[in-house]
Amino acid sequence: MVKQTCDILVSGIVQGIGYRPFVYNLANELGVYGFVKNLGDAGVQITAQAEHDILLKFFELLKERKPKLCVYESMNIDWYEEFPSYVKFEIAKSSSQKKGAGFSYLPPDISICDECLKELDSDERRRSDYPFNSCVDCGPRYTVIEKIPYDRPNTVMIDFPFCSECDADYKNSQDRRFHAQTTCCVDCGPSYTLYSSANEEISFDTQKELIRFVANEIEQGKILAIKGIGGTHLACSTLNDDVLLKLREAKGQRKYKPFAIMAKDIESIREFAELGEEETKLLTSFRRPIILLQRSNDYHLSEWVAPGLHNVGVMLPYAGIHHMLLKEMKEPTVVMTSANPSNYPMFIDNEEIKEKLPYVDYFLLHNRRIYQRNDDSVIRLNRIGEKPSLKFLRRSRGWVPEPLLSHVDIGDQTLLGIGAEMHLIPSLMKGSKIIPTQHIGTVTLLETYEYMLSSIEHYLSIYSTSIDSIAYDMHPQYLTSTNISEIAERFDVENIHSFQHHEAHIASVALEHRIDPEEDVIGIAIDGTGYGRDGTIWGGEIFQGPIYDLARVGHIEQFPLPGGDLAVKYPLRSLMSLLYLTYSKSEVLDIINPLAKYLPRKMDEAEIVATQLERGNFSTGFLTTSTGRFLDSISALLDICGLQTYEGEPAIRLEGVSFKEKNSSTNLNLNIPYSRNKHEYSIEVSKILPELIDLKEKQKRSSLAYEVQRALGKSFGGVVSEICDRTGIDKILISGGVSLNEIIVDSISHEISFPNRSVYLNEKVSPGDGGVSVGQLYLLALREKTLL
Catalytic residues: 20, 38
The amino acid at 75: M
Which among 111, 107, 183 is positioned nearest to 142, based on CA atoms? 107
Judged by phi (left if over 0) then psi (alpha if -120 to 50, else beta), residue 163 lies in beta
Q: What one-character-per-residue DSSP string does 426-450 give?
A: -EEEETTEEEE----B---SHHHHH
Which residue type does 333 have? T
Closest CA to 680 of 582, 578, 551: 551
Instruction: Single out the residue of 185, 141, 115 nearest to residue 17, CA to CA.
Output: 141
Tell me how far CA of residue 787 lies from CA of 213, 414, 455, in angstroms: 64, 15, 29
The answer to whether 573 and 588 have CB atoms below 8 angstroms apart is no
Tell me the C-alpha to C-alpha distance, in Å, between residue 596 and each of 156, 567, 631, 637.
Answer: 55, 14, 18, 10
The sheet that has 495-499: what strands, in order across it? 404-405, 433-436, 427-430, 414-417, 469-473, 495-499
- Backbone phi, psi, residue 389, to 5°: -125, 120
From residue 359, alpha-carbon distances to 200, 258, 348 in Å are 15, 19, 18
Are 344 and 445 in contact, with CB atoms under 8 Å apart? Answer: yes
In a 3-state reduction of DSSP, which class is residue 696? coil
The residues pairing with 37 across neighbouring beta strands, listed in sequence order, are 45
Q: Which positions ≥6 away from 173 have C-beta within 8 Å?
A: 21, 24, 25, 28
Residue 453: CB atoms within 10 A of its CB come to: 18
77-84: Cβ within 8 A, 24+ apart: 77/6, 77/7, 77/8, 78/6, 78/7, 78/9, 79/4, 79/5, 79/6, 80/4, 80/5, 80/6, 80/7, 83/5, 83/47, 83/49
Q: Cis bond leading into 161, ω under 30°?
A: no
Angle between helices 701-727 and 649-658 (to 10 degrees): 100
Distance of alpha carbon 641 from alpha carbon 637, whole angstroms: 9
Phi-psi region of 525 (alpha: psi -120 to 50; beta: other; left: phi over 0): beta
Computed over its alpha carbons, how large is the radius of gyration of the chain? 28
Nearest to 311 by CA among 362, 261, 263: 261
Q: What are phi and psi of 745, to 5 degrees?
A: -70, -35
CA dihedral 457, 458, 461, 463 (to 10 degrees): -110
Hey, is 730 helix, strand or coil?
coil
Closest Cα partner for 409 from 10, 9, 12, 782? 782
CB 467 within 8 A of CB 488: no
Task: Name residues whose C-beta falls within 8 Å of residue 151's C-beta, 6 or more positions apart in sequence.
Answer: 38, 94, 181
Q: From start to end of 198-326, where are the E strands?
A: 201-202, 224-227, 232-236, 261-263, 290-294, 311-315
CA atoms within 13 A on the CB side of 70: 24
